[in-house]
Structure 1
């Protein structure tokens, strides 16, 4: 059986350092030392006479009675063989050999051994040997490296054998240069994410190693690992695999019955395909199960695929397909398809039911460097409305409580020039999980031409009313579909599709008036195209209105005019006085009043009417309607509108004395970020001409950790005895100037200890990202999601201060998030708090390894706790344990998990959970 995980595995092949090139290095080193020492016993030979070739004839010369043959006159015939046909042997050494020892380097002529002592090292090419002692035996053809026992009895300077990225750290090494085999004693070799610890390792050749009674672990403490898999017999092929015989799990040297008759550990620096082991367990309603078993496909370095399935003994099953892709500087994304066929009870019983749910998620983002002028993005979350409430393979609190699923896929492109042209295609999806109504646009077309200033000068700035005149052109087209869950992905969903186009040409300008006032004026021309209109008539027999749909092109055209006048007023309240240095020195008040005027003509030419005839044949009334009432871009207005809008925006800031005595300037503090009032008056209305006054505001406290927002609606008109609004001011009816009809306030506060936990923050962000992908909140106030198929989350290992590893964590990092909301309603004298709630979420790190958290809320109106999740997590060094509990609600459940962190051994885990009782 194989242990496999769909993730990267990086292998450090330490044993590969014992390459056959070592023989050449060590032999050459010993041979060189041997020759140098022996050479001192020999005489230095005399320099031999040199011969010079000549073409002169051989001649005999008489000198006394001796006849001498002069060498210069000898002609030497050249050999006909110019070059030797036998190629010269390859040099014994290919690289420079550098060796060193702090104390001494000695060669024994008697034993024919070379000794290097104390911090001995040999460098040859990319290979390096470091040890306390290195001994080269020329007679037995062996190389021996070991450490040194110091004065305290400690074994130091253990051998370190490196070659390229490979490294091995044994107690000692014995290498035979002739047979090219080696014995490695007490080695610790990194293999992938784990380490192999062996008493004796036999190196058969460059690529095969045999071990006996070895240990495989991913623990950081190799001297006393908290767990290991004992390999009684094993074969290692570095960079490829580890094959074992009988192997079982030990926890702190205590054997467990968890074992295998044989095992296979893949070792690769690249993606590797393999089997994903399922989770075994029992479901409270569907019997025993195998969950999340399947196969992982390592397609390439840029894309992968995981196919997993679930099976339950009552016949339920599930399928899950997940894909991740990433191309640096181009794009990245992921795709997931989830399908579950859920069966309750057994066929023939009254509570038998069958439910099919599915979910499709796709996220795609394009790198900004890939194409500056075009962009493609996708965020898809669609499927069954009940998926997140009925799924038995995950607990996603944010999506469980969310009532909307939404999707968007868009492509946009810009064409540079003057003017610039922009174009985009977008497909959208919005799904109400309560009503199961789905609204889609397949697709939405948008295009626009940038602003054109036809009267602006070619050079210089644009000034004045005429030069600032500008216009644009915008077009929007939609194919809008409204359907339900039962018709989704069926051809019937397209029967009632509505198609339309909207063209708009806004013309605007702006200028300064009396230096302090900004004036803007605009008019807009709109044209709407539709391909379906209606025609209505009254059926006298059935006494009902008949609406006929007419297919064909039709259009209506409208226009409007608006203008606005605004300015900015600054006020300063100075509290500084001579001889006094108050804490609050100044308060600055900024006001931005604005008045606007809008005219919308009446386009009653697009309206028709039909007669309603009574039973006695008399016409009782004429009912007006427009044939464009099914247009997706609205209908033309039939009532003339002439209105004035009034708004006032306020901002308050204070300059206070800085606590830092060295600061030369006061500190700015925002008292109110905004305080806005707005209303309008309809000149063309015959009654209730004033609109309610809407007030909104917001501010922040405690270095922006506390955010407060509020709003209210004030109506100037009174109510009659039936609580209906009448055309009479409230102050004239015996009341106050305004009648408070609604109000709301929200506050959010996030604070934490100064010593945060970066690792936990990163893990929490992963959960929040999962919330967002599935349509939930961007925080953990509704709890953290749990996806049982991806329960293993890799912890990033980093250096830790030894002081923080104690059992008691004196810093105790913590964080807390609060959200408060209250709504008041009084539109019909009900005078009630419609909703009042407080939500909170927090985490406390009690010790370095213990972390607890909770997400909950309290309904102050109904006096009860809202959706609650409790979380407990324990870091067991190489293991991770967590327990999550939802104590009440329709999603009440708990989950316990303990497993190894390493992705390679992540299938060594235990999981137990109680599923909520699903209501189908």
Structure 2
């Protein structure tokens, strides 16, 4: 039997047109079949209506004379007493074209006053359409019937389908009376929101109320074979509004359960509506009995909503959560989330009692690029207590727990069009370290710039030569920086170390060609730094009980210093190609080199330096000695101090790329395929001409080796130092090769790679895409859930992975596909700058999921420390998709976060409160 979607259409819209047009349709068909040449208004119902004969007027008027007309008009009492005609005006027959058909026959019975349409019968009138195996129109009873028919094997087929606009009703049979406007519908199936309803008999009493008997309703897709359903003998259905029931009982796999209610109310609103959120209850060892995730949902408008929920524990702990999502199409969208927790352990008065309050604010706001091309506002905020994710209750987010940085940014940018163009950006930034609990705030942070201008460029044509390519611009930066701790945040003490600084910079540069193949650049930069406090230093020999100490005094007031420098560079590109025979798989290898040499001068700004003298105590030494110390009043300031050392250095760099042309496996490709063998192998060093020792800088090496095209690259780096070490492992001005060693010392090295792949990567035409942004990524974690995903118990497992793969697999098929995914991250670091000669860190992280059977998934996120052998943070997960239900189990087997969680519940949000959730939370030390 067909599945009916229960909607208001089969009562409110479905049959009302039949009341006004069915008799017109019937007699129109009679007219076309039997050529009846006349119809009267009384013929529409000969059994109840009779023609009324016209009566003569009782007042007889005298014959009119030529002057009688004027006399009649003057007599105001003369009135016409003729009765009005009571005959009924015949209604209009048809207002639209009628289409009807059937596969076997159409029969009009004059004796029964019925019309029969059999086998694939159809009637279309305007937007109304009825399809059924058999349609009968009974004019005598003013009723219409629609049935299915039996096929050759005796199965009931061609059940009625009523359509009007987008509304569809699919019962077993329909009986509708035009006089009473009531309908009886047998074995109706309908869908109201997320609820599927099936009733044996449905009675429509008016346009908006339906009574049903022996009813099953469920959120399962197949209402006839539902894995669970609610059964009620009688219900009242108001389409798209509500279901009100009497005694209702829950069945699972057609087995009745003890779960029942004397009455039930199920809302069926398609739109968001405000309402209470029922809390869940339970017991916890540390905090006692609890009510969790109870609150209220506010449907503020079509553009925003608000959810307020909370938890309460019998030992006094509580949690408050508010969350709001908003969106305006083509303008902006975002969400705001605030969580406050007051966590208590033990009971007040006991020695192990402890209390800790934590909070967290998350706000994301993004503006549509089409909203305003010249201005943009954005926000990405993750601000709160440093130990929030360690101490937070009722949620488990592994990625945020392992991340020791919280950062936020709110910015507004504005572009002022013109020539030159002016850009302005105002921002507020935040960064806090969850380990040290240090909080850094930068608000406001103002950046402004004037676009690059070419004062000597021609008005038309291409810029040529040194003069025409001279360009300059102006940049401004202003910042108020606050460094504080969690304890001093939002108190007056947080402003004690606040510092303000402003910086102006004007770079001037040009570029030109030398001998057509060499590209040269020259430039200079002028900077002026403004600060509003400086530090004066002096030596007090009488301080610290006569031992003496350096005294530092902070002097408030405006001060500034100016710096400038000069740099130039010369570079080119060299290509080398080695060709093989065309019949070879590798046809050619090309080596691209980009050598570059640069020269820079940084003057010494001694005018911003002062001196103080440290005198040793003559009572402790036979000979007095003094030490002259140079210092700058800008040391430790906002921008630091300018350099007092003259620097004149030459820099060298060489970039290498190695590519190969490989014959394509596809015989239709005429051109060979390009493969990158070595990408960006860079060598860098510098030589300080003005230095008196250690003039050559270490050689830095970085590179990238592609392993799998566009999927797996190995990144590596190393540093080679040419100077030797003394016996105290300090660098000395002696070549390492002259000290009995090699030409260079390998002081550090590292290699790492990350790769994600799945079974879809080996299927033709499939690609492995990164997941969308999630809560973990928003808070600074990884987008690939390498360390495990997040679970917010308030969301009723909404963040748990779900199996959306509806591909049907034949378990008897030998070539059975097992979907899987794997994410890897490998890193190794080597240190030898002071003869350690050791691997400082060496680890591999992995996360994978395997679908052992359709709708059954297991996964693990873990890692292994190869330096200190042992598994890192590990998370095991199991999930079963039970069609209408979700079952999952998450387990952290070891570490300080040892915990587990078991959950089974209905997927549908309408019945999300029907669930079982049992968990052991990790121990907390407040």
**TM-score normalised per structure 2:** 0.90
Q: Deviations over 1:342-370 (max 9, x none)?
A: 11111122221111111100011111111
Judged with a 3 Å threshold, the aligned counterparts in structure 2 of structure 1 residues 196 and 809 are, in CA distance, closer, same or farther, namely farther
Judged with a 3 Å threshold, the aligned counterparts in structure 2 of structure 1 residues 510 and 41 are, in CA distance, closer, same or farther, namely closer
Judged with a 3 Å threshold, the aligned counterparts in structure 2 of structure 1 residues 159 and 533 are, in CA distance, closer, same or farther, namely same
8 Å contact kept, 2:761–2:768: no
Q: Where in structure 1 are there 5+ consecutive unaligned residues?
A: 1-8, 45-57, 59-78
The residue matched to 1:427 in structure 2 has which SS? strand
Larger RCO (alpha carbons 8 Å, 6+ apart): 1
Equivalent in the alignment of 1:248:
249
Q: Does 1:30 align with 2:26?
A: yes
The residue matched to 1:905 in structure 2 has which SS? coil
Alpha-carbon shift at residue 455 of structure 1 (Å): 0.6
Alpha-carbon shift at residue 224 of structure 1 (Å): 0.8
Judged with a 3 Å threshold, the aligned counterparts in structure 2 of structure 1 residues 575 and 614 are, in CA distance, closer, same or farther, namely same
Whole-angstrom distance in 1 between the partners of 2:900 and 2:362: 26
Alpha-carbon shift at residue 246 of structure 1 (Å): 2.1
Alpha-carbon shift at residue 272 of structure 1 (Å): 1.4
Q: How many residues align?
A: 873
Q: Deviations over 1:664-716 (max 9, x none)?
A: 32221111012111111111111111111111111211333321011111110
Equivalent in the alignment of 1:584:
586
Alpha-carbon shift at residue 615 of structure 1 (Å): 4.3
Whole-angstrom distance in 1 between the partners of 2:9 and 2:33: 39
Judged with a 3 Å threshold, the aligned counterparts in structure 2 of structure 1 residues 87 and 823 are, in CA distance, closer, same or farther, namely farther
1:29-48 map, 5 Å: 29-33=25-29, 40=36
Whole-angstrom distance in 1 between the partners of 2:636 and 2:810: 67
8 Å contact kept, 1:10–1:267: no
1:190-269 map, 5 Å: 190-269=191-270
8 Å contact kept, 2:9–2:164: no
1:141-220 map, 5 Å: 141-220=142-221
8 Å contact kept, 1:18–1:206: no
Equivalent in the alignment of 1:831:
837
The residue matched to 2:738 in structure 1 has which SS? helix
8 Å contact kept, 1:244–1:264: yes
Whole-angstrom distance in 2 between the partners of 1:800 and 1:251: 23
Whole-angstrom distance in 2 between the partners of 1:530 and 1:87: 98
Alpha-carbon shift at residue 801 of structure 1 (Å): 4.5
Equivalent in the alignment of 1:347:
348
Alpha-carbon shift at residue 636 of structure 1 (Å): 1.3
Whole-angstrom distance in 2 between the partners of 1:168 and 1:207: 15
Alpha-carbon shift at residue 437 of structure 1 (Å): 0.2
Q: Does 1:360 align with 2:337?
A: no
Which of 764, 775, 781 is residue 770 of structure 1 equivalent to?
Answer: 775
Which of 8, 20, 23 is residue 16 of structure 2 equivalent to?
Answer: 20
Judged with a 3 Å threshold, the aligned counterparts in structure 2 of structure 1 residues 92 and 306 are, in CA distance, closer, same or farther, namely farther
The residue matched to 1:722 in structure 2 has which SS? coil
Judged with a 3 Å threshold, the aligned counterparts in structure 2 of structure 1 residues 342 and 358 are, in CA distance, closer, same or farther, namely same
The residue matched to 2:12 in structure 1 has which SS? helix
Whole-angstrom distance in 1 between the partners of 2:431 and 2:8: 50
Whole-angstrom distance in 2 between the partners of 1:919 and 1:809: 52
Alpha-carbon shift at residue 659 of structure 1 (Å): 2.6
The residue matched to 1:737 in structure 2 has which SS? coil
Equivalent in the alignment of 2:507:
506
1:270-669 map, 5 Å: 270-542=271-543, 543-576=548-581, 581-615=583-617, 620-669=626-675
Which of 828, 831, 855 is residue 849 of structure 1 equivalent to?
Answer: 855
Q: Does 1:125 align with 2:130?
A: no
Judged with a 3 Å threshold, the aligned counterparts in structure 2 of structure 1 residues 25 and 532 are, in CA distance, closer, same or farther, namely same
| Aligned-CA RMSD value | 2.9
Alpha-carbon shift at residue 99 of structure 1 (Å): 2.7
Whole-angstrom distance in 2 between the partners of 1:763 and 1:671: 24
Equivalent in the alignment of 1:51:
none
Equivalent in the alignment of 2:77:
none
Equivalent in the alignment of 2:50:
none
Equivalent in the alignment of 2:55:
none
Whole-angstrom distance in 2 between the partners of 1:40 and 1:903: 60
Whole-angstrom distance in 2 between the partners of 1:380 and 1:103: 70
Whole-angstrom distance in 1 between the partners of 2:769 and 2:105: 54
The residue matched to 1:120 in structure 2 has which SS? strand
Judged with a 3 Å threshold, the aligned counterparts in structure 2 of structure 1 residues 861 and 107 are, in CA distance, closer, same or farther, namely same
Q: Deviations over 1:71-115 (max 9, x none)?
A: xxxxxxxx999x999997874654443332222222222222222
Alpha-carbon shift at residue 408 of structure 1 (Å): 0.5
Q: Deviations over 1:503-535 (max 9, x none)?
A: 000000000111111110100000011111122
Judged with a 3 Å threshold, the aligned counterparts in structure 2 of structure 1 residues 498 and 809 are, in CA distance, closer, same or farther, namely farther
8 Å contact kept, 1:430–1:438: yes
Alpha-carbon shift at residue 183 of structure 1 (Å): 0.9
Q: Deviations over 1:164-217 (max 9, x none)?
A: 332221101111111111111000011001211000111010100111221111
Q: Does 1:736 align with 2:742?
A: yes
**TM-score normalised per structure 1:** 0.90
Equivalent in the alignment of 1:62:
none
Equivalent in the alignment of 1:712:
718
Q: Where in structure 2 are there 5+ consecutive unaligned residues?
A: 41-63, 65-79
8 Å contact kept, 1:17–1:168: no
8 Å contact kept, 1:808–1:846: no
Judged with a 3 Å threshold, the aligned counterparts in structure 2 of structure 1 residues 193 and 282 are, in CA distance, closer, same or farther, namely same
The residue matched to 1:25 in structure 2 has which SS? helix
Q: Does 1:691 align with 2:700?
A: no
Whole-angstrom distance in 1 between the partners of 2:163 and 2:814: 40
Q: Does 1:670 align with 2:676?
A: yes
Alpha-carbon shift at residue 274 of structure 1 (Å): 1.5
Whole-angstrom distance in 1 between the partners of 2:892 and 2:440: 33
